[in-house]
Structure 1
Amino acid sequence: MEGVLEDRQLELNRRGALKGIAAGTATLVAPTAYARIAKPKRYAIVGAGHRSRMYQDAIWGAHKATSHLVAVCDKNPGRAAYVQRRAADAGAAPPRTFLHTDFDKMLAETSPDVVIVTTPCAHHSEYIVRALDAGRDVVTEKAMTTTAEETQQVLDAARRNNRHVRVTFNYRYGPIRTQIKELLMSGAIGDVLSVDFHWLLDTVHGADYFRRWHSRKEISGGLMVHKATHHFDLVNWWLSAMPVRVDATGKREFYTPGMARRLGLSGYHERCRTCTEKAACSFYLDLAANPSLKALYLENEHYDGYFRDQCVWRPEIDIEDTMNVIVGYDSGATLSYSLNACNAWEGYSVAFNGTRGRLEHSLIERSFVTGTAPPPDDVKNASIRLYSLREGSREIEPRLGDGSGHAGGDSVMLADLFGEHQLDPTLRAADERAGAASCLIGIAANRCFTTGKPVLIDELVTGLRRPDLAPMPTRADRVPMPPRPTAS
């Protein structure tokens, strides 16, 4: 099978790969890369919104020798034409453009090797399945799907076509997050018993989810699916474990008409551009003031009626802004997770409790409005601390990235996706099995919000197999006796 992940299936020689990691001094370096690219791969992108820009820029920039964008498909012809202009500006051949209704025509006439799906989340499964059935490899943005039914369709299509779907979990590739994985693999805290993970979105980035299509659960799956799929995947990958049981509660209390009135406004409005209280609202977004947002959305909204600057206080918003989740894993570990979209700072803290100690990691990010130019370095502050049972603690120097998005993960992931394949003992490349394991936690959480009852993952889909995951310490390993406590 020649698929996007074919080289990931090779047997990895991991001996010696983790030496020194427990001390926090080693850097996992992949063996010498080997190329299998005889000619540039042909790519087609479905969905021309801002999510596709990262892939466009990679194909026209750092990876132009191995990649060729031959087509773009979108329901908005203005946005598709904008991609053509961006290609010309980058010195690349403009891709052909197609309406979303001509997807099959695009495949037939441009013969892409790989289809990259960057539509709103609820439409992912349709194009993933159609591309697989047409014999194409598929790369999809997260979340892979938004419902259990869509997840089942993708799993079934991958199986009947004997192909894998690449899910672009760029958080795995952030050097500091890979460093956490290496520490856990090394046995620095033994086998993991529990995880405490708290993600905070501030009222710049967090509010932006409530302006866009993301504010409708039928399109995004809510923040439990669209956003938290990143975080659930990190935990699944960090633990090398599969989720079994989910319990959750969620609510929307900040982004409401009532909060607008508490902030001194008369209430909600349709959008920022026509708002009569824009001068009084610090959540006002001026699309015309940002060249990127203006070219991509404002100048093209007459094609499909999509407003990128919808009011964050609208009553029809049906996603939560405050969520808490408990997940049980097949390894025996448990996760306690929270996501808050109206916080005072942006970032996260995570702690792993193990049989030999505790590993803490926190990161504060620089916030920005999606679709605008991100800051040159999105990490403000990062820390790692390792605690050993009865032996004190020590700081470990965080391994920071190159300043590209998602704590340096974007450039590493794009090199893995479009460049030469390299051996990776941490197995960061994710396929449809990992994509399903992640989004199903969010899908289960959404069901918990409605029913008030816990959900078993195997009640949602059938045939979900365990993805390729790196070996970890287990409950069968011997645990050294900790030192006797010293007198206080």
Structure 2
Amino acid sequence: MDVANANLGFLSSPSAPIPTYKAQGFDKMIADTKPDEVKPMTINKVRCKAIINTVNKTGKKVRVTFNYQYAPHKTRLIKGGEEVIGQVNSVHFEWALNTSHGADYFRRWHRDTRNAGGPLVHKSTHHFDLINFWLLSHPVSVMAQGGLMFYGREKAEKRCITEFYCRAPGSEVAKKDPFALHLEEHEQLLRKMYVEAEHEDSYYQDQSVFGDGISNKDTMGVLVKYASGAFSTYSLTAYAPWEGFRAIFNGTKWRLELVVVEQSYVNSAGEQGAEGALQKCTVTLRPLFKKLREFEVEGGLGGHGGGDPVLLNDLFGGNVGEDQFGRAADHVDGAKGILTGICANKSLRTEGVVQVKDVLDLKY
């Protein structure tokens, strides 16, 4: 058994009981357990600045776990590849969340943007980090458009939907709704984890995606300018008929096109390793004045296209040597990832271009 799998086995089947803490006991958990690695980031500039100030004051380290970087088919895409495709001048990145996974962002606590920063922070941070990673650069300006165009009661009524419910249990309407999440069908994972704990935190995971009180956007487009001179166009759709992404890189020597189909996943409703599992990855290289080349790339084993085991090994595997790809993200990398989403949210409110340094100047 290799180190990655050994660590996964340890984490899933510990030899000693693991102490548990409720949310209000977070500080006690840190004091009791004295963790070697802290892996947070946050959802707004005030908290982000507080993390950066704390790192500077204490000299301690923060690790941000961007597991997408560790997936083999994402790691090697552009890293070190400038000699192949030349200087990258533009990126088009389209991410599709399907009607199973995408709906999760409108059933649960993060349907309210105030709780998690909306999909542009809660989800897209991983995507923006990938672009930073691929380009070896950081964002300098952001402009965004978007709206709640599919989910929510108002949009449903415009599509002539007339029957509504709040939560799935006991609802005849929910039985006819393909978006409904029926917790009772998942005995071990969902019912015990959520239903039987609702009295603790009032966390309802099975709300209607066509209910009231949804402030998230489900359709978004973002234009980002980078310090390298490149720019990216990014889009996120949370109700697509398929799950995956398309990434196109226009370089001075080649055009690289990546199409990735991923396995759909509902939070805690299936095997954890199924989350983001790679189903198909096709790479097309289109050189200037030469014949195109097309080939398929295999992913690794484990969640997020094989990224999770590699990340866990990096965190807990001991001395694993220097990472040639430089994937270990710190608080600055985390800030670069969330700042794109934070600035995009500001742009949505102001309908203008947002300069990243005006929101939080990291002084690169």
Class of the TM-score when normalised by the shorter of the 2 chains: over 0.9
What code does the residue aligned with 1:380 have? Q
Counterpart in the other structure of 1:113: 35
- Correspondent of 1:436 among 323, 328, 335: 335
Offset, 1:63:
1.7
Structure 2: gaps of 5 or more residues: none
Q: What is the total number of aligned residue pairs between the two structures?
A: 359
Offset, 1:227:
0.5
Q: Secondary structure of the equivalent of 2:189?
A: helix
For the pair 1:227 / 2:89, whether they are aligned, the reply is no
Offset, 1:257:
1.1
For the pair 1:424 / 2:323, whether they are aligned, the reply is yes
Paired with 2:345 and 2:290, the residues of 1 have a C-alpha distance of 42
- The CA deviation string for residues 130-155 of structure 1, in whole angstroms up to 9 with x for no partner, is xxxxxxx4123xxx211111111111
| TM-score, scaled relative to structure 1 | 0.70
Offset, 1:107:
3.5
Q: Secondary structure of the equivalent of 2:132?
A: helix
Q: Which has the higher helix share?
A: 2
Counterpart in the other structure of 1:299: 196
Counterpart in the other structure of 1:19: none
- The CA deviation string for residues 23-80 of structure 1, in whole angstroms up to 9 with x for no partner, is xxxxxxxxxx9x9xxxxxxxxxxxxxxxxxxxxxx8xx72279x7x8xxxxxxxxxxx
Paired with 1:276 and 1:386, the residues of 2 have a C-alpha distance of 51
Counterpart in the other structure of 1:448: 347
- Correspondent of 1:327 among 205, 224, 228: 224
For the pair 1:283 / 2:179, whether they are aligned, the reply is yes
For the pair 1:346 / 2:243, whether they are aligned, the reply is yes
Offset, 1:103:
3.3
For the pair 1:316 / 2:238, whether they are aligned, the reply is no
Offset, 1:296:
0.8
Counterpart in the other structure of 2:6: 62
Offset, 1:91:
5.0
Alignment map for 1:175-324 (pairs within 5 Å): 175-182=72-79, 184-261=80-157, 265-290=161-186, 291-324=188-221
Paired with 1:166 and 1:298, the residues of 2 have a C-alpha distance of 32
Q: Is the 8 A contact 2:281 2:296 kept in 1?
A: no
Q: Is the 8 A contact 1:357 1:386 kept in 2?
A: yes
State, as a whole percentage, how many aligned pairs show the same letter.
38
Alignment map for 1:73-152 (pairs within 5 Å): 90=13, 92-108=15-31, 110-114=32-36, 137-140=37-40, 144-152=41-49
Q: 1:264 to 1:274 in 2, by over 3 A?
A: farther
Paired with 1:395 and 1:64, the residues of 2 have a C-alpha distance of 34
Paired with 1:359 and 1:206, the residues of 2 have a C-alpha distance of 27
Paired with 1:398 and 1:342, the residues of 2 have a C-alpha distance of 26
Q: Secondary structure of the equivalent of 1:254?
A: coil
Q: Is the 8 A contact 1:147 1:221 kept in 2?
A: yes
Q: Is the 8 A contact 1:196 1:335 kept in 2?
A: yes
Paired with 1:95 and 1:301, the residues of 2 have a C-alpha distance of 22
What code does the residue aligned with 1:339 have? L
Q: Is the 8 A contact 2:165 2:174 kept in 1?
A: no
| TM-score, scaled relative to structure 2 | 0.92
Offset, 1:213:
1.1
Paired with 2:348 and 2:81, the residues of 1 have a C-alpha distance of 34
For the pair 1:410 / 2:332, whether they are aligned, the reply is no
Counterpart in the other structure of 2:286: 387
Q: Is the 8 A contact 1:265 1:280 kept in 2?
A: no
Paired with 1:104 and 1:203, the residues of 2 have a C-alpha distance of 37
- Between the two structures, name the one with larger relative contact order (CA 8 Å, sep ≥ 6): 2
Task: Calculate the aligned-residue CA RMSD, in Å.
Answer: 2.2
Bigger Cα displacement from structure 2, 252-261 vs 410-419: 252-261
Q: Secondary structure of the equivalent of 2:315?
A: helix
Q: Secondary structure of the equivalent of 2:174?
A: coil
